[in-house]
A = this chain, B = another copy of it.
Amino acid sequence: MAAEVRRRIVEREWLQGDRIPDEADLAVEFGAARATVNKALQLLADEGLLDRKRRAGTRIAVNPVRKATFSIPIVREQIEAEGMVYSHRVIAQRDSPIPEDVSARTGLPEGSILTHLRAVHYGDGKPFQFEDRWINRAALPQVAGADFRALNANEWLVQNAPYLHADVEFTAANADARDARMLQVRRGQALLILHRTTWNDLGPITTVRLACHPGYVMSAAS
């Protein structure tokens, strides 16, 4: 049923913006229960092929399947998936006043004291990712007792800090002196940079800048 509707869209029997027959008519045509038709249409709507509106009926989406999903990865798993041995090193972990850019990303006021962490993740001893992270103890009181040398912050947070909302940004940057030192690359090397900020009901949990090794590819599919 979903496959047949998908075929009609892809082969352009039904065109973008067209209203498709209503559920009752489709149920008759396919000899299926209305609940089955509804489920199939919902699947296609979730994929982005259909726009469903309670009053206006179901139409073929004008910009079909424009959404792709990607997972926020666990860096250790990424490295191990490439057949490499994971290790990490905490460069610094200390409480510091919030810098301006972190204040802008999180909305936390000037003067806030956050836990600042710098760490490098390695695959077979080669730098894979440089992590520069700020953690808001106000939203995460249990962070005070955490030792990120034992379990890295990425995994500690996944296990201890469920979040309600995340912002993710991708940019490219030329490696600055610190990036170059941490990733063992020349200054100016193009790096993929991820900024990720998460919130729970108490406020911002953490914001992190991840500088990926040259050649790193982030993939998504839909």
A residues contacting B by CB (< 8 A) are: 6-7, 9-12, 16, 49, 62-74, 158-159, 162-174, 188-193, 200-201, 212, 214-222
Contact = CB atoms under 8 A, between A and B. Distances in A.
Contact of A171 (B7, B188, B200, B217): B217
Copy tally for this chain in the complex stands at 2
A162 B218 contact: no
Contacts of A158: 63, 66
Q: Which of A9, A68, A174, A218 has the most CB of B within 10 A?
A: A68
A196 to B, nearest CB: 9
Nearest to A46: B46
A65 B72 CA distance: 9
| Interface pairs A-B: 5 shortest CB-CB | A172-B172, A190-B190, A172-B190, A172-B192, A170-B218
Contact of A169 (B67, B164, B217): B217
Contacts of A16: 159, 162
A190 B174 contact: yes
Contacts of A174: 174, 188-190
A171 B192 contact: yes
Nearest to A73: B66
A30 to B, nearest CB: 20
B164 A6 contact: yes
A201 B68 contact: no
